[in-house]
Amino acid sequence: MNNNFSEFNKLISNKLFFKKFLFAKLPSAFFAGLKVESFSETTAIVSVQQKWFNTNPFRSIYFAILTMAGEMSTGVLCMGNIYKRKPGISILVIEQRGVFHKKATGKILFTCNNGNKINNAVETAITTGNAISVECYSKGINSNNEMVAEFWVTWSFKERNNKAVPPAV
């Protein structure tokens, strides 16, 4: 695992830091109300609560907000695995698929358990120097423990060119 993961975990678990990060870097996620509920080396849980701003005319959470929350549950695990890595690693979403099973109302929790899979991809990208892709899975569950949506997000990891500017986190 990334030796700096625990440092990233402290940052991402700090509610004030996370809100500032969202506001500065992902304002749509900030206004939609996305929150990291739980975060470890293997699992991330991101929530979204239905509210006026993210509701569609059918009185459920807008599909794009659900997609954003599903992607974020995979993305924070990716960010934790590349945080302060030497050499630096660039990441990019290269594919996203989603299936919506049920009207999304109330609070929805998106869970991704692919931390080990992501770490292996990052390690392979570093050791081989090649771009490595990994498909991550996130499922969205409502308060009645019913599946609302599923997302598959494919991330690409590649060792950063030394001349490139590292990302600010």
Per-residue pLDDT tens for 11-53?
A: 999 999 999 999 999 999 999 999 999 999 999 999 999 999 9
Q: Mean pLDDT lowest for which of 17-31, 74-88, 155-169?
A: 155-169
Question: For the chain, what is the domain count?
Answer: 1
165 in a domain, yes or no? no
CA distance 48 to 139: 13
Please tell me the distance from the alpha carbon of residue 152 to that of residue 70, in angstroms, as a whole number: 8
Which alpha helices (H) appear in the chain, and where do they start and end? Answer: 5-13, 15-25, 27-32, 63-82, 115-128
How much is the pTM?
0.90
Specify the CATH number for the domain of residue 140: 3.10.129.10
Domain that holds residue 143: 5-159
CB contact at 8 A, 2 and 76: no
CA 101 – CA 108 distance, rounded (Å): 13
Residue-wise pLDDT for 119-136, tens only, equals 999 999 999 999 999 999
